[in-house]
Structure 1
């Protein structure tokens, strides 16, 4: 486990888990939101985004924190492990709303992108299993070299971290 992609819906705890896994394994963590979003919540154009990811993940050791289904194949081709953080959708929405409330107006995900309440984001989380998970499963099927771990509760996330040898 040297090149890890962590995926799942917003609010599932991917970033917190990625940070804890990075501390436990001494793998550098790349929070994709920080590179994808430009100030004012402007998306990076697709071709530029794909190029940026190839630069970010050129090394032999990393943790990629973030979903970005349009580039699953790019990351999965380089990864050796995919960890799916798949907590229940209500828990994810509640967590995302709580984060928006706690950090409202502060740029915590990406520079120049202040936290805000966005129904479209909460709707994406709510519909993740229906709309986004199938794309993930199709991408995973194309990359049979991957070790895939699915964690569906905070407790399973904690147990997984505890099972990892400290580096």
Structure 2
């Protein structure tokens, strides 16, 4: 089983990836942890690509969460048996990110690289509310839905996510 989890910041991609990886007993790759070096410094793109390439080459089954179009996006979507799109309302995503920042205040989340303590600032809030939801980004999700209708699942709210998780984790 290969599962790609995509969607907006704060929608719960990493949490779902960890749950599915544990249930399915498959390795999980959080693309945020590949992208960020300690101190919230972006890793060089070629190094990121090498890490993701190695992960894809080494594993027949996996869960990968994150968007990052430069990190073998098309190949990840093609190879995935299931694509889960977390399409939550922007204000719900902001609320969830703020809650996450409170829970992990001063700590690094398990799905992030070392040295990246959880934070929410105006730049990230603006990303969640606006810059991360441009027409280009929305069109990328729409095209994936059209390209892979048989393996594309859109989850729009917590009720649907809870129902999906209950089914997936109890099988």
Give the TM-score category using the shorter length: 0.7 to 0.9
Structure 1, unmatched stretches of 5+, are none
Give the count of matched residue pairs. Answer: 165
Answer yes or no: is the 8 Å Cα contact 1:7–1:67 preserved in 2.
yes
For residues 146 and 44 of structure 1, the distance between their equivalents in structure 2, rounded to whole angstroms, comes to 34
Matches within 5 A, 1:1-167: 2-58=1-57, 59-71=59-71, 72-108=73-109, 109-127=112-130, 128-131=132-135, 132-138=137-143, 140=144, 144=148, 147-164=151-168, 166=170
SS at match of 1:70: coil
Structure 2, unmatched stretches of 5+, are none
Question: TM-score by structure 1 length?
Answer: 0.85
Can you list the C-alpha shifts for 1:50-76, whole angstroms capped at 9, x where unaligned? 221111122110000122233322422
Indicate how the Cα distance of structure 1 residues 146 and 74 shifts in structure 2: closer, same or farther if over 3 A, else same.
farther
For residues 74 and 45 of structure 2, the distance between their equivalents in structure 1, rounded to whole angstroms, comes to 14
Question: TM-score by structure 2 length?
Answer: 0.83
Q: 1:86 offset after TM fit, Å?
A: 1.0
Can you list the C-alpha shifts for 1:64-97, whole angstroms capped at 9, x where unaligned? 0122233322422332221001111101001111
Answer yes or no: is the 8 Å Cα contact 2:145–2:152 preserved in 1.
no
Q: CA RMSD in A?
A: 2.3
Answer yes or no: is the 8 Å Cα contact 1:18–1:65 preserved in 2.
yes
